[in-house]
Amino acid sequence: MALKETPSQTAGPFVHIGTLPAVAGLKTKTPEQPNILARDGTLGERIRIEGTIHDGAGVLVKDAMVEIWQANANGQYGSNDFTGWGRAATDFETGLFFFETVKPGQTPFRDGRKQAPHISLSIFARGINIHLQTRLYFSDEAQANATDPVLQMVGQPELVATLISNKEPGQGRPLYRFDIHLQGDRETVFFDF
Amino acid sequence: MSEHGEYRRRDRSWHPAAYTPAYRSTTFRAPRRALLSLPQSIGELSGPVFGHGALDPLDSDLIRNYATTGDAIGERIIVHGTVMDENGRPVPGALIEIWQANAGGKYRHVNDKYMAALDPNFGGCGRVVSDAEGRYSFRTIRPGPYPFPNDGCAWRPAHIHLSIFGHAFVQRLVTQFYFEGDPLIARCAIVNTVKGQAAIASLVAKLDMQNMQAFDCLAYRFDIVLRGRNATHFEGS
């Protein structure tokens, strides 16, 4: 007989204690930077991702925790030189979260078709009863995005737009901006897998 | 059973809905559009692997891991159980991260403004990895209840937060468990975001006298169920 999954409960406003203890103000034995995924020797193009999370009243969500999961530059998950996993807090003052990583390669969809480069995101916070799952795509991958099976299922261009990070002009490492809207006219598309 | 088969779909009626107005923080944080259901591809069927070897034995002892002058204050308890999947199979190597308030209901967090005192010997942060049989155990103190703003002043029952990584992105789970017999459980708007007594009961740790440590700690048992692969998928069939 099948068991029932343990029900989710909100991560609450103090999620950082267990997940990002230094952010909560706890001393840690070793400095941890789980939002820095790209290390010396990591293959691929170095990128920075920045964003904010907005609630349905237009207020910045400053107590959230965001996790990412992605393939490496060759489209492989869990390779030895690149964990592909990261975690960041939205800043208590500015609401900004950021990651330093590499641009992922293309990976196969369930049916074998190619998916455009993307990063999976999960959002945990007070007032979020079960974590929200979405994807970040890249504005400079228009051709791959146009044939991506998931973006095709999303369909409507204004909904697809909520999933595409914008490459911002600047010097040095490419910067992609990804703002998440939990609710409202610009509500981000969230997934159930 | 296939090693690559999809996981059962999440029973969203068993989990809390996103919008549960009695828990006021959901009012502006709940998406209003339905989730878009997608098949599971490689990115959802895989998941991060952490350096489990790097865990310190003290990581699962919250009575001592932030202690400076002596043990943390409070009722000494052991919390233990098994991490299983929906098919009843143990999940070895699951990373469980733990956070909680101290015995007075105060969190060691820069944003916790509750008047209760901090315990200089308690951090409220730990982690443990399930063993080959899916079993896990950690030692801590029983946290205190505390007030929070929710349509006036509401009180949280004593609870411990858990963040769990199984083997796949789709198994990710963050939850809280409560303690058998606590009269605040039934009164809590956050508990009651979960509909159904059976689902709520599955979030309550049971007093486990058989596993108490004589003249040291009480024990509570809390089993964790993560999503399991769909049993209808058989390799080569």
Per-residue pLDDT tens digits for A77-92? 998 889 999 999 999 9
Q: Is residue B236 part of a domain?
A: no
Q: Which residue of B has its CA nearest to A80?
A: B49
Is A14's CB within 8 Å of B170's CB? Answer: no
Supply the pLDDT for residue B53.
65
Segments forming the whole domain that contains residue B81: 55-225
Q: Is residue B166 part of a domain?
A: yes
B213 CA: distance to closest CA in chain A (Å): 26
Q: Is residue B47 part of a domain?
A: no
pLDDT along chain B (237 residues), means of 10: 76 98 98 98 94 82 97 98 98 97 98 98 97 97 98 97 98 98 98 97 98 98 97 52
Q: Which residue of A has its CA nearest to B169?
A: A69
Residues of B with Cβ-Cβ distance to A153 under 8 angstroms: 36, 38
Say yes or no to pLDDT of A177 above 60: yes
ipTM surpassing 0.85, yes or no?
yes
Q: Is residue B81 part of a domain?
A: yes
Token pair recorded at residue B222: 């809390």
Q: Which of B227, B96, B16, B225 is nearest to A8 (CA)?
A: B16
CATH number at residue B64: 2.60.130.10
Q: Is residue B233 part of a domain?
A: no
Q: Is residue B149 part of a domain?
A: yes
Say yes or no to pLDDT of A112 above 50: yes
Residues of B with Cβ-Cβ distance to A70 under 8 angstroms: 43
What's the per-residue H, E or C state across chain B? CCCCCCECCCCCCCCCCCCCCCCHHHCCCCCCCCCEECCCCHHHHCCCCCCHHHCCHHHHECCCCCCCCCCCCCCEEEEEEEEEECCCCECCCCEEEEECCCCCCCCCCCCCCCCCCCCCCCCCEEEEECCCCCEEEEEEECCCCEEEECCCEEEECCEEEEEEECCCHHHCEEEEEEECCCCCCCCCCCHHHCCCHHHHHCCEEEECHHHCECCCEEEEECCEEECCECCCCCCCC
Supply the pLDDT for residue A69.
98
Per-residue pLDDT tens digits for A117-175? 999 999 999 999 999 999 999 999 999 999 999 999 999 999 999 999 999 987 889 99
Q: Is residue B124 part of a domain?
A: yes
Question: Rounded mean pLDDT of A38-55?
Answer: 95
Domain count within chain B: 1
Q: Which of A70, A61, A19 is nearest to B174 (CA)?
A: A19
Size of interface A-B (CB pairs under 8 A): 241
Q: Which residue of B has its CA nearest to A62?
A: B111
- Tell me which of B8, B89, B161, B172 is the catalytic residue: B161
Supply the pLDDT for residue B237.
36
Q: Is residue B45 part of a domain?
A: no
